Structure 1
Amino acid sequence: MSEPIIRVEQLTCAYGPVTVLRDVSFSVQAGEVFVILGGSGCGKSTLLRHLIGLERPAAGRIWLDGAELTASEGAARQALMRGFGVAYQSGALFGSLSVLENVLLPLNEFTSLDPAARELVARLKLRQVGLENYADYMPAALSGGMQKRAAIARALALDPRILFLDEPSAGLDPVTGAELDALIKRLAGTLGLTFVVVTHELASIFAIADRALMLDKSAQGMIALDTPQQLRDHPPSAPVRRFFHRETA
């Protein structure tokens, strides 16, 4: 097996004296759709914030595409963080900019392409998510699902190898959520992207995940890592069984 594109070793995440996650270790292979799941308050968003460099761990190490994020500083850290894309739960589009202008933002900031080339790239990214006819729309004129697609297009602007998605299906109706799941699978397959997706939506987990890591609040860490089908059919513990079979405690 090739070297993983993401490697996490004994990661401990804390806010002051409060430890949220302890001794979390896992790896993600290139081209994999890897889901982080668990109940409310289990640390999914905390883990994501550490993976994308917004928080410093209390202990442990994170490698992204062969470089250690946790040891990087200054310009080297910024360059490493430009090697992945992030789409947040809300979409986080700038409301005063058109869809095209939102996608152009990272290209304007971090590339030396001429303006015509930057616009060509931005329109290509919109085409990849099915929004080529909405470039001049303002975000407020888009549906929730289209805003999520626009956010993914912006996250793709710098051609990252890894894309982090935070609750992409949250707030979407089942049909729109399924369309977004299909987009994730298509982008992973056609572009060879690695996806790390935070979600608790069972339908999405089974639709997109190659493997799923489950966090648990009581355990302050990970309690399972396998394919969704294996976790459903052969749950290793009662919390895993309750999650995948929607059982009460």
Structure 2
Amino acid sequence: MSEPIIRAEHLVCGYDDKVILDDVSFEVKRGEVFVILGGSGCGKSTLLKNLIGLYRPLSGRIWLAGEELTALDGAARLALYRRFGVAYQSGALFGSLSVLENVMLPLTEHTTLDAAAVELIARLKLRLVGLEAFADYVPASLSGGMQKRVAIARAIALDPEIVFLDEPSAGLDPVTGAGLDALILQLSHSLGLTFVVVTHELASIMAIADTALMLDASVRGVIAVGPPAELANHSPDDRVQRFFQRKVAA
């Protein structure tokens, strides 16, 4: 069995004195695609923000790639940040930069490589997501699906061990969304990346997830974890069944 690359223990997450998630624990195996799902307001985004270090949990501990994120500060915390990549729901690309320059940015900021090497690596990352021919375009000239591919290319620029994706299929038509799902699986298999994906899209969940973690606002925590097909077909929890059946019916 693969070693866990992410471990969360007894997380309590929230803002000021408002608790959104209470006593959340789970593990993510190295090399798997791990999906966080659940209804609106269940804490998916809150959990993601804590996992990537945007917020500190109110209590509990998080390990990423063997390092305890919740115990690190300063240079050690920044060094850990460079070991994972993040692609946000909006893409968060810089509109004043070309596609190539967006992907080059992490390499320019966080390595000592010369300009030629930075450009070469960035072009290779764009080739991996099928967009090398669009290197000189500006993000606004690309479709939504293409912008999300650029965001993924930028997220893998530093050869991270873990990539976090926030609602990658949101706002995409089914065909484009399926293409993005295929890209995630391709990168996972070819590069050995671990993906943590926040999504509510059933088609994506069933297509890409090795393991799904379902959150529910009523308990402020986890109500199910396991392969998505097992959750959809065999979970005894009515909340899990309602989630999957409602999405299937839609």
What RMSD, in angstroms, separates the aligned Cα atoms of the two structures? Answer: 1.0
What residue number does 1:93 align with? Answer: 93
Q: CA deviation at 1:236?
A: 2.9
What residue number does 1:59 align with? Answer: 59
What residue number does 2:136 align with? Answer: 136
Q: How far apart are the structure 2 equivalents of 1:15 and 1:175?
A: 37
What residue number does 2:22 align with? Answer: 22
Instruction: Give the TM-score, by structure 1 length.
Output: 0.98
Equivalences for residues 184-223 of structure 1 within 5 A: 184-223=184-223
Alignment pair present for 1:160 and 2:165? no
What residue number does 1:47 align with? Answer: 47
What residue number does 1:109 align with? Answer: 109
Q: Is the contact made by 1:224 and 1:236 (CA closer than 8 Å) also made in structure 2?
A: no
Q: How far apart are the structure 1 equivalents of 2:105 and 2:176?
A: 26
Equivalent position SS for 1:31: coil
Q: How far apart are the structure 2 equivalents of 1:151 and 1:34?
A: 19
Q: How far apart are the structure 1 equivalents of 2:41 and 2:98?
A: 35
Kindly provide the CA deviation profile for residues 34-71 of structure 1, in whole angstroms up to 9, marking residues without a partner as x.
00000000000000000000001011000000000000
What residue number does 1:123 align with? Answer: 123
Q: How far apart are the structure 1 equivalents of 2:164 and 2:236?
A: 27
What residue number does 2:11 align with? Answer: 11
Equivalent position SS for 2:104: helix
Q: How far apart are the structure 1 equivalents of 2:2 and 2:144?
A: 38
What residue number does 2:148 align with? Answer: 148
Unaligned runs of at least 5 residues, structure 1: none
Q: Is the contact made by 1:36 and 1:198 (CA closer than 8 Å) also made in structure 2?
A: yes
Q: How far apart are the structure 2 equivalents of 1:40 and 1:14?
A: 16
The runs of at least 4 consecutive aligned structure 1 residues that moved more than 6 Å come to: none
Closer/same/farther in 2, CA of residues 177 and 2 from structure 1, 3 Å limit: closer
Equivalent position SS for 2:231: helix
What residue number does 2:233 align with? Answer: 233
The amino acid across from 1:19 in the alignment is: V
Q: CA deviation at 1:16?
A: 1.4
Kindly provide the CA deviation profile for residues 158-217 of structure 1, in whole angstroms up to 9, marking residues without a partner as x.
000100000000000000000000000000000000000000000000000001000001
Equivalent position SS for 1:151: helix
Equivalent position SS for 1:5: strand
What residue number does 1:242 align with? Answer: 242
Kindly provide the CA deviation profile for residues 101-143 of structure 1, in whole angstroms up to 9, marking residues without a partner as x.
0001000000111100000000000000000100000000000
Q: CA deviation at 1:14?
A: 1.6
Identical positions, percent: 73
The amino acid across from 2:161 in the alignment is: R
Q: How far apart are the structure 2 equivalents of 1:74 and 1:202?
A: 39
Q: CA deviation at 1:17?
A: 1.6
Unaligned runs of at least 5 residues, structure 2: none
Equivalences for residues 71-82 of structure 1 within 5 A: 71-82=71-82
